[in-house]
Each structure stands twice: as C-alpha cells, then as structure tokens.
C-alpha cells in the first residue's frame, strides 16, 4: 500500500483528493493535515464524505510514516512551507500549487502525463499542472508538435467557481456568481507561463502568441476551452495527428463531434475535438477542473511515480444528466 499524507486537506482540492483516494485500492491515507480543523471529522468539512470515512483532521505531520505527500496549499505557500519544514528524502512530493511548475533551480518535474510521462515515472518531486493550463495544452499541443499552426493562437476558456478555492470572495459567492459571467486576467493569466514553457518544448522557436481570455462561469466545476489559429493542413490530416498524439493517453479522448462539459465533470477525462473553417482550425477541449485539472491528474501522476496503471482509482462516472 502507498501511504499518503495530505497538507491543506480542508480545501476543495484536499477534500476531492480524500474522496478519490478513499476509493484507490493501493492507498492508505495516513494523515490529513489542517491546523484549523485538527481533531474534527473530515466529513464535518467535506460533507459529501459522510459515511465514507472515520478519518479526522490532524495538526501533526508524521512525514516519516508516509511514502508521498500531497501539497494542497494555495499558490505561493509550498515553497515557503519547504523552507520551514524538512521532509525526508525518501518521501515523494506532489505539489498542486504553481510554485514549481516553471523550470528553475529545483528538481520538480512538470506533471502533464500526455507530454512528460517518462519523466514523471522517475520523478521524486512533481509539480501538478494548473487547471486552465491542462485544458488549453491538451487542446493545442498536437498541432504544435506537428508544426501545422501559424500566427497567434486565440483561446477562450470558462471555468467553474471551485477553481477559485473554498474561501468565499467577492467574485465567488453564490449571489454574485449565479446567473452571471465575467472576464478576468485577460491575456495575463498565470497559467500562460507554464503553457508557453511547454509550447517552446514541443515547438522550439514558435513565434505565435497564446492569447487567452479567461471567464468565470455560473457553475461549480468544469472548464470548457475553445481555441483557434491559422492552419493550412486538411481536416482529415489534423484529425489523424490528434488521434496519433493521444493514442496512448489514458484519459484524453479525441471525439468526432463537438463535446459537452457534462461528458467530463466528475471524471479524470479530457475530451478534445477539432474542426476546420477555411484556413482556421478550431480546437475544443473540456475537463473537470478539480479532477483532470487538479486532484485526478495528481493521482494519475502518483500512479505513474509508483509504477501503477495510470487509471488505478480513477474510474469515475461523468455527471452526464
């Protein structure tokens, strides 16, 4: 059994991670850390887990008792935590924040299985990709690898409210978010850094820009991305490029008609679709932001790091109706 510790266990990603790992046949959760909830049943905070577990939050962090620890912190907190705490060298780390996604003076592997599977298998420390970054990359990367796009890539993406975290804010509380839609961080979203990093890995010297307009949606979970760019390659060839690129992908599926968000919500799947309009290629992808965009992908990466089948513990049914 893989012994797991979870830091930041009281938030949305922490709760979703507990939910997934409780159904994982090769995992034992050793501790779920939350100082503010220490001693309380996990199901008091994550009420969907009522009857599923007797696990309680703890303020302890017995790193010597685990094989892997998941960081479910807010962005910027992982690096600060590691400066103040020592984690034994044998313990693997999977960080769900953005602190180590950009290559630098660290040994964290960027954890997008569709592009970095071999490196993930041998990783000791892993930076889980961002939710928008995952969805956008899965839409556009096959074309970049094939070198068939020219000019800028125009991206529009809409995300559910859970992407903003559990702590209520001015743009997340129900009365503002319901029946509403708004744009934010136009052309400046933080996930563009990791997207552009992968673009240059797959297509060095690509001169086009990724122009991203993010939107807040009036639903709880899921991300739906549409992207377009100039492309002279016939549609049949493009479809074959996508089919070949994702042939061995465990969770990314190329479909023959425009997808719906409900096909992926509550699953670790990504659904991808392409169509041509004259010299423009339209690329569509959708994921669950808490699963393929966060926790599900983190567990998929854990499976790779410990030599398990990628799909272990991740056979989840979509909320299709």
CA distance 139 to 134: 9
CA 168 to chain centre: 21
CA distance 256 to 239: 9
Beta bridge partners of 95: 71, 127
pLDDT at 128 over 60: yes
CA distance 22 to 227: 36
pTM of the entire structure?
0.95
Residue 321 counted as domain residue = no
Residue 316 counted as domain residue = no
CA distance 191 to 116: 17
For 54-59, which contacts have Cβ atoms below 8 Å and span 24 or more sequence positions? 55/18, 55/29, 56/32, 57/9, 57/10, 57/32, 57/33, 58/31, 58/32, 58/33, 58/34, 59/33, 59/34, 59/35
**What share of the chain in percent tops pLDDT 90?**
90
How sure is the predictor about 320, in pLDDT bands with cuts at 50, 70 and 90? confident
Residue 162: predicted pLDDT? 78
Read off the CATH number of the domain in which 262 is found.
Answer: 3.30.360.10
Q: What is the mean pLDDT of residues 18-32?
A: 98
Beta bridge partners of 18: none
Confirm if 239 and 143 have CB atoms less than 8 A apart.
Answer: no
Tell me, yes or no, whether 156 and 274 share the same domain: yes
Could you list the active site residues? Answer: 131
Residue 242 counted as domain residue = yes
Confirm if 116 and 197 have CB atoms less than 8 A apart.
Answer: no
Tell me, yes or no, whether 38 and 57 share the same domain: yes
Q: What is the pLDDT of residues 182-210, one digit of tens each?
A: 999 999 999 999 999 999 999 998 999 99
Confirm if 93 and 126 have CB atoms less than 8 A apart.
Answer: yes
Residue 157 counted as domain residue = yes
CA distance 30 to 55: 9
Tell me, yes or no, whether 30 and 86 share the same domain: yes
Q: What is the mean pLDDT of residues 21-27?
A: 98
CA distance 272 to 269: 10
Rg, the chain, Cα only = 19
Tell me, yes or no, whether 9 and 118 share the same domain: yes
Which token pair is 172?
């997340």
pLDDT at 166 over 90: no
pLDDT at 17 over 90: yes
Residue 120 counted as domain residue = yes
Q: What is the pLDDT of residues 58-68, one digit of tens each?
A: 999 999 999 99
Which token pair is 242?
């996508």
**What share of the chain in percent tops pLDDT 70?**
96
How many Cβ atoms from other residues are within 10 Å of residue 317's Cβ? 7
Tell me, yes or no, whether 146 and 11 share the same domain: no
Query: Of 279, 114, 137, which is closest to residue 200 (Cα–Cα)?
Result: 137
User: What is the domain range of residue 245?
Assistant: 131-287
Residue 312 counted as domain residue = no
pLDDT at 169 over 90: no
Q: What is the mean pLDDT of residues 139-160?
A: 96
pLDDT at 165 over 60: no
Tell me, yes or no, whether 155 and 279 share the same domain: yes
Residue 310 counted as domain residue = no
Q: What is the mean pLDDT of residues 95-107?
A: 96
CA distance 303 to 313: 9
Tell me, yes or no, whether 280 and 201 share the same domain: yes
Per the listing, tokens 């012994």 go with 3
Tell me, yes or no, whether 65 and 179 share the same domain: no
């Amino acid at each position: 059994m893989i012994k797991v510790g979870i830091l930041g266990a009281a938030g949305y990603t922490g709760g979703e991670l507990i939910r997934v790992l409780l159904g994982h046949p090769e995992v034992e959760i050793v501790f779920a850390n939350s100082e503010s909830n220490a001693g309380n049943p996990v199901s008091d905070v994550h009420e969907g887990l009522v009857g599923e577990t007797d696990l309680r939050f703890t303020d302890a962090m017995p790193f010597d008792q685990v094989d892997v620890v998941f960081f479910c912190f807010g962005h910027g907190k992982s690096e600060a935590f590691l400066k103040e705490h020592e984690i034994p060298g044998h313990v693997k780390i999977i960080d769900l924040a953005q602190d180590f996604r950009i290559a630098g003076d660290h040994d964290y592997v960027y954890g997008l299985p569709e592009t970095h599977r071999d490196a993930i298998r041998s990783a000791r420390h892993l930076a889980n990709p961002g939710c928008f970054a995952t969805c956008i990359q899965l839409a556009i990367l096959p074309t970049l690898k094939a070198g068939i796009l020219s000019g800028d890539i125009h991206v529009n993406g809409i995300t559910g409210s859970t992407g903003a975290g559990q702590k209520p804010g001015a743009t997340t509380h129900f009365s503002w978010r319901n029946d509403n839609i708004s744009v934010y961080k136009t052309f400046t979203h933080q996930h563009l850094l990791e997207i552009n990093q992968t673009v240059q890995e797959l297509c060095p010297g690509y001169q086009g820009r990724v122009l991203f307009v993010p939107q807040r949606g009036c639903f709880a979970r899921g991300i739906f991305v549409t992207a377009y760019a100039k492309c002279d390659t016939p549609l049949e060839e493009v479809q074959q490029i996508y089919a070949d690129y994702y042939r061995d992908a465990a969770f990314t599926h190329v479909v023959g008609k425009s997808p719906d968000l409900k096909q992926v919500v509550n699953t670790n799947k990504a659904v991808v679709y392409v169509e041509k309009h004259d010299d423009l290629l339209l690329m569509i992808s959708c994921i669950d932001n808490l699963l393929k965009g966060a926790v599900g992908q983190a567990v998929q990466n854990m499976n790779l790091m410990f030599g398990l089948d990628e799909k272990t513990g991740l056979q989840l049914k979509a909320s299709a109706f």
